[in-house]
Structure 1
C-alpha cells in the first residue's frame, strides 16, 4: 500500500489513503509534505553523493487540492559544498499547492558533546492505543496507527506510525517517511470539536537534528488559540531513540 503512485517523471496520483480530514474528497496535506521531502532527496542524490541532511523543512500551504494527479519540481536556490538551500513545489494543474524550502547540511561526528535539556519522551508502548477516526474522517487518518496520552484538550503526547509507503514501488528515507506524518500533529489533541470550529494550518516548519530511527514518530504537542482568529500548534519531535527536533504550525481559526 502507498500514498501515491508515480505516473510520470514528476507526476503522482494519490491513493485512497491520502483522503483528507477536513474534507475526504480533498487530499490530506501530510502525505504531500512527505512527497516533497522525498523528491528533494531524490534530486540531491542525482546531483551529489554526500547525502546532505535536510535539517530544516519549511512548508507553505497555498491551498487545498482534490484527489487528483499532482506535479512536483525542485530547484537549488543556494548551492554550496556543505550547505544548500533547495526549493520544491507541488502543484495541481497550474496552481501551486505547497512550497518547501529545505536547508540541507553536511553532518559530522559530534557525539562526544551531544546533549539536551528536553525531557525524554519514553516509548510508544508507554501510552495506550487511540483511534483518531473517532474525531476525524478520511483515508489518511484511517491509515494512521496512534498511541496517545492526552493531558487536556489541546495538550498531549502521542506516537504515530503508518504501514503505507510514500510512493508505490519506491524506497523513501526514514526522514521523508517521517515528513509525511508531521502534519497530523494539529489534529491529534483538539481544543474544540472540529465540526464546530475549523483550524487548518497554513504552514509547517520542522527543525531536525538527525535522521529519524524506527517506525514510530513521537509528538509532544500543545495547541493554542489566540483571541484574534490565529492559533499556533507547537511540537517537540522524538523517535524511539530520543529527541529528534521541533515543529510549529500557524492556524487560521474559523468558528462555524
Structure 2
C-alpha cells in the first residue's frame, strides 16, 4: 500500500548491499525497513538510500459513497506497441535505448520525455503513458509492483519542471497504491506542485488501463544549473 524511499546520494556503478528488517507483522499490517549501501573504494561502506514498506491486508470497502476525482478516460497504448527507435551513431555503433518509453497524451508523439523540448516546458497539467524499456534484473520480467515503482520516480521531472526546465532534485519518493496495476503501461497525470524557499512538493496520479491505482509524491530541493 505504501513504499517510501529516502535518497541520500546517487548510487555508484558498483554492487549494492541491501538489508531489510521486519518492523511489524500483524494480522492486518506488515512494515518492512530496507537499507541500501555500497562498499566504495577508499571510503568504506556508505549508505545510498533507505526505504520503508507498508503492506495492508485486503478486505471489502465499507458501504456508502465517498467523493473521488473524475475518472481519467484516456485509452492506454497497446501492449504490443514497438519499442522506441534506436538511432545509429555510426556504422558499428548504436545509441542506448531510452530508459522510458513515453506516449505524451498532449501531443501523442510517442517520443521519450525530454525536459528540453518546448512542449514539456509549457505550464499546465501533464499527462503521459510510460513504461520501462529495461528489466530491473536482467533476464527477469518485472513484477507489476516493480513496474509502477520504477515509473513513480518520474514524479520529479513531471511535477517539478517548468518554463526553465528542471531545477529540483528529489530527496525522496513516496508511492501509494490502492491496488496492483494491470499491464505494462502506467498512466501519469500531474495533480500538485508547490514550492517555497527552495523546497518543493509534487504529486502525480497513477493509472493503468482500468483506471486510477494510486499516487506518487516527491519532495524536491532546488538545484541551480551550472
Deviations 1:64-89 (A, max 9, x none): 12222212111101121321110112
Correspondence for 1:182: 152
More helix by share: 1
Deviations 1:133-168 (A, max 9, x none): xxxxx968x121111145833630111012322212
- The TM-score with structure 2 as length reference comes to 0.73
Correspondence for 1:61: 7
What is the 5 A alignment of 1:1-256? 55-93=1-39, 94-110=45-61, 117-121=68-72, 122-125=74-77, 142-149=98-105, 152-153=122-123, 155-188=125-158, 190-194=161-165, 198-222=167-191, 224=193, 226-256=195-225
1:175 to 1:111, Cα distance in 2 relative to 1, 3 A: farther
Distance 2:141 2:77 in 1: 27
For the Cα contact (< 8 Å) 2:105–2:129, is it kept in 1?
no
Offset of residue 246 of structure 1: 1.5
1:146 to 1:187, Cα distance in 2 relative to 1, 3 A: same
Offset of residue 234 of structure 1: 1.1
Higher relative contact order (CA 8 A, sep 6+): 1
1:66 to 1:242, Cα distance in 2 relative to 1, 3 A: same
For the Cα contact (< 8 Å) 1:118–1:243, is it kept in 2?
no
For the Cα contact (< 8 Å) 1:174–1:211, is it kept in 2?
yes
Q: Unaligned stretches of 5+ in structure 2?
A: 40-44, 79-83, 85-94, 107-118
1:234 to 1:180, Cα distance in 2 relative to 1, 3 A: same
Question: Could you say which structure has the larger radius of gyration?
Answer: 2
Q: Per the alignment, in what secondary structure is the counterpart of residue 180 of structure 1? A: helix
Offset of residue 123 of structure 1: 1.9
